[in-house]
């Protein structure tokens, strides 16, 4: 079976000013490669500064890589830092859902704009699609007239999810999206994500530091350390026998 | 699915209604707003409702005190000046030339300032930095001094004053708008919108402008109070409105020689100026506090 998302030797360097004329490069990602199948979850863990957030941002298209390819369903969408296809099949959910929603617009306006930009639906179809999506994530159609500040923490996460899945994507990138939630809301959201995965066959790239979440949700696991992939394999296998010292240390707790 | 009764509490309102609720709770700001609106209406309708012409002289009623004084006459409610002109009519018309023109100047500044500020905010690199650092130089000069310099070049006159004030206010304006735009650009929802495929114009229209226009109104009120003060100051220095024009600063200057004989001719335009600037500042301050409160809630 062809993997839905394939990343080949992704590289990213940042330039930091060091004095007036000298500048130094530091690698945020070095030759990172992985595959993700339909309906599966890849967890990415690593210490702060290991490049896992950079990976998420590059996958979503918020930043460009320096070298390497990203393939979606066998098609190259990013080649050596050039985004060839503006992809609506790869959607990012931000760390703070509240900050990722425009406070001055109603949910309907936010969602409607996304549809306007990416689809040819007319107004009635857009309205139906918005209602349907809001129901899918466990909200009501009436919530479309709400502003972001009117939602509670768990609800706003659902709105962010609705924002991500309204274009029927294939892959969702969750950049620490579950970390800021309290345990009960997190459990709700995780169940919602898993049920969506069963229903629509979504794939997730789960960027987190939460080990029990990784164990619960993910099929495969990628451990990053200073931009390098030090471990990559089935989650269950890695948890029982990680090869590297760093990996053992990260997974032992 | 059953139709839900949605919870329609105070917190469940649009950001604009929120802002109005916070603004309303500040009484001085509300009074300021009423006075401001009254002055604005006066500025528009003054030539129609003023009892006498601006330069209509009444030879039999020179330096008449206000009507509540024993020597005053009820036909001239606020008294007359040295040439027998009705002070009330002159002050009402002064609202048009001082307050009205200040609003006009501030509006024009807003129009130009927002366009240039947004341009400066959206561009990066050399273009943005040239615009910025050129403006930094002019920021070092106080706006009144800058206006005087510009009037010195253009020559005195009321319309020249307006242009001078627009040019003098513009650097601060562009700077503030640029900062607002730059601040917005770094927000997550702008990144999200960019990832949705929105171009720069769309990001500006739905992402940035709805979030900054309230702040622009605050900057507008601040520049308005500066504009009122500058127009009056230039009029007083006889660089702006010239002698027969009914402009508060010019009226003040004209009657300065009468200050011992007829103090009301100097006090009244001064009080009006004070009220105009105070009300504008109260509105601006109230709005800023309301914005802060809304952000905190």
pLDDT per position as a tens digit, B190-217: 989 988 888 889 999 999 999 998 899 9
CA distance B219 to chain A (A): 19
Return the ∠ at Cα A24 (arms to A20 and A30), rounded to 5°: 160
Average pLDDT over residues A5-19: 84
Reported pTM: 0.84
pLDDT in tens, B140-154: 888 888 889 989 899
pLDDT at B221: 94
What distances in angstroms separate CA B95 from CA A224, B99, B102, B159, B277, one per listed residue? 69, 5, 10, 15, 12
Q: Indicate whether B158 pLDDT > 50.
A: yes
d(CA B153, CA A151): 57
Q: What percent of chain A has pLDDT over 90?
A: 20
To the nearest whole number, what is the mean pLDDT of chain A?
86
Q: Indicate whether A86 pLDDT > 80.
A: no
pLDDT at B1: 42
pLDDT at B279: 96
Average pLDDT over residues A3-12: 88
d(CA A123, CA A116): 9
Minimal-distance CA residue of chain A relative to B198: A117
Say how many C-beta atoms besides its own lie within 10 A of residue A74's C-beta: 9
Residue partners of A152: CB distance under 8 A and separation at least 6: none
Beta strands in A18-108 (DSSP E): 23-36, 41-46, 67-72, 75-79, 82-83, 90-93
Q: What percent of chain B has pLDDT over 70?
A: 96
CA distance B85 to chain A (A): 52
Task: Count the alpha carbons within 13 Å of A164 in the hemisphere toward its beta carbon.
Answer: 27
pLDDT at B101: 94
CB A83 within 8 A of CB A163: no
Is any Cβ of chain B less than 8 angstroms from the Cβ of A168? no
Radius of gyration, CA atoms only, chain B: 23
pLDDT at B4: 52
- The tokens 């660089």 sit on which residue? B239
To the nearest whole number, what is the mean pLDDT of chain B?
89
Weakest-pLDDT range from A82-91, B95-104, B206-215, B278-287: A82-91
Reading the block at residue A89, the tokens are 């099949």
CB B251 within 8 A of CB B269: yes
Q: Indicate whether B160 pLDDT > 60.
A: yes
Reading the block at residue A135, the tokens are 């129901």
What distances in angstroms separate CA B157 from CA B46, B151, B154, one per listed residue? 21, 8, 9
Q: Do A117 and B11 touch (CB under 8 A)?
A: no
Confidence of residue B9 (pLDDT cuts 50, 70, 90): low
Strongest mean pLDDT among A31-40, A82-91, B28-37, B243-252: B28-37
Q: Indicate whether A84 pLDDT > 90.
A: no
* Chain B residue set in contact with A, beta carbons under 8 Å: 1, 4, 6, 11-12, 14-15, 187-189, 191-198, 202, 206-207, 210-211
Minimal-distance CA residue of chain A relative to B2: A140
Q: What interface predicted TM-score (ipTM) does this complex get? A: 0.84
CB A8 within 8 A of CB A69: yes
Say how many C-beta atoms besides its own lie within 10 A of residue B133's C-beta: 9
Confidence of residue B2 (pLDDT cuts 50, 70, 90): very low
For chain B, report the end-to-end CA distance as a whole number of angstroms.
Answer: 33
pLDDT in tens, A40-57: 999 998 888 888 888 988
pLDDT in tens, B85-109: 999 999 999 999 999 999 999 999 9
Average pLDDT over residues A233-238: 87
Say how many C-beta atoms besides its own lie within 10 A of residue A212's C-beta: 7
Phi, psi of A71 (to 5 degrees): -115, 135
Average pLDDT over residues B219-242: 92
Q: Do A102 and B207 touch (CB under 8 A)?
A: yes
d(CA B57, CA B86): 8
Task: Count the alpha carbons within 13 Å of A156 in the hemisphere toward its beta carbon.
Answer: 22
């Amino acid at each position: 079976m062809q993997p839905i998302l394939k990343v080949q030797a992704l590289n990213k360097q940042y330039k930091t000013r060091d004095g007036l004329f000298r500048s130094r490069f530091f690698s945020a990602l070095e030759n990172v490669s992985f595959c993700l199948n339909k309906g599966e979850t890849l967890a990415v863990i690593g210490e702060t500064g290991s490049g896992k957030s950079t990976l998420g941002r590059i996958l979503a298209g918020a930043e460009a890589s320096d070298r390497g390819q990203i393939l979606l369903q066998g098609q190259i969408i990013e080649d050596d830092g050039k985004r060839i296809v503006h992809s609506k099949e790869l959607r990012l959910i931000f760390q703070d859902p509240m900050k990722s929603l425009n406070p001055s617009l109603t949910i309907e306006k936010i969602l409607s704009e996304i549809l306007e930009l990416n689809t040819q639906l007319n107004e009635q179809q857009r309205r139906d699609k918005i209602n349907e999506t809001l129901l899918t994530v466990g909200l009501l159609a009436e919530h479309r007239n709400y502003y972001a500040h009117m939602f509670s923490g768990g609800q706003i996460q659902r709105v962010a999810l609705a924002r991500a899945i309204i274009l029927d994507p294939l892959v969702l990138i969750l950049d620490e999206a579950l970390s800021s939630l309290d345990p009960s809301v997190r459990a709700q959201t995780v169940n919602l994500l898993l049920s969506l995965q069963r229903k629509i066959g979504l794939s997730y790239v789960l960027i987190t530091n939460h080990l029990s979440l990784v164990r619960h949700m993910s099929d495969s696991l990628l451990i990053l350390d200073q931009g390098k992939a030090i471990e990559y394999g089935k989650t269950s296998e890695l948890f029982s026998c990680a090869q590297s010292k760093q990996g053992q240390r990260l997974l032992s707790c | 699915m059953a139709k839900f009764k949605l919870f329609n509490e105070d917190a469940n309102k649009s950001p604009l209604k929120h802002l109005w609720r916070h603004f309303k709770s500040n009484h001085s700001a509300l009074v300021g707003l009423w006075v401001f609106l009254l002055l604005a209406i006066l500025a528009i309708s003054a030539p129609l409702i003023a009892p006498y012409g601006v330069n209509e002289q009444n030879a039999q009623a020179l330096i008449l005190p206000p009507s509540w004084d024993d020597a005053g006459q009820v036909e001239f409610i606020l008294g007359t000046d040295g040439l027998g002109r009705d002070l009330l009519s002159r002050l009402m018309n002064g609202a048009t030339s001082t307050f009205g023109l200040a609003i006009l100047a501030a509006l024009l500044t807003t129009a130009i300032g927002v366009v240039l500020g947004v341009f400066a905010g959206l561009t990066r690199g050399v273009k943005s930095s040239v615009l910025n650092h050129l403006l930094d130089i002019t920021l070092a000069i106080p706006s009144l001094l800058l206006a005087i310099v510009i009037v010195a070049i253009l020559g005195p006159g009321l319309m020249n004053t307006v242009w001078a004030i627009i040019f003098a206010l513009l650097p601060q304006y562009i700077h503030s708008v640029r900062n607002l735009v730059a601040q917005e650009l770094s927000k997550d929802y702008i990144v999200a919108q960019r990832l949705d495929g929105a171009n720069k114009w769309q990001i500006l229209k739905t992402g940035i402008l709805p979030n900054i226009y309230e702040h622009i109104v605050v900057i507008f009120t601040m520049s308005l109070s500066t504009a009122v003060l500058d127009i009056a100051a230039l009029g007083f220095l006889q660089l702006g409105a010239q002698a027969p024009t009914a402009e508060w600063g010019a009226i003040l200057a004209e009657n300065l020689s009468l200050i011992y004989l007829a103090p009301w001719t100097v006090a009244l335009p001064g009080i009006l100026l004070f009220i105009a600037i105070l009300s504008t500042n109260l509105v601006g301050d109230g709005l800023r506090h309301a914005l802060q409160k809304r952000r905190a809630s």
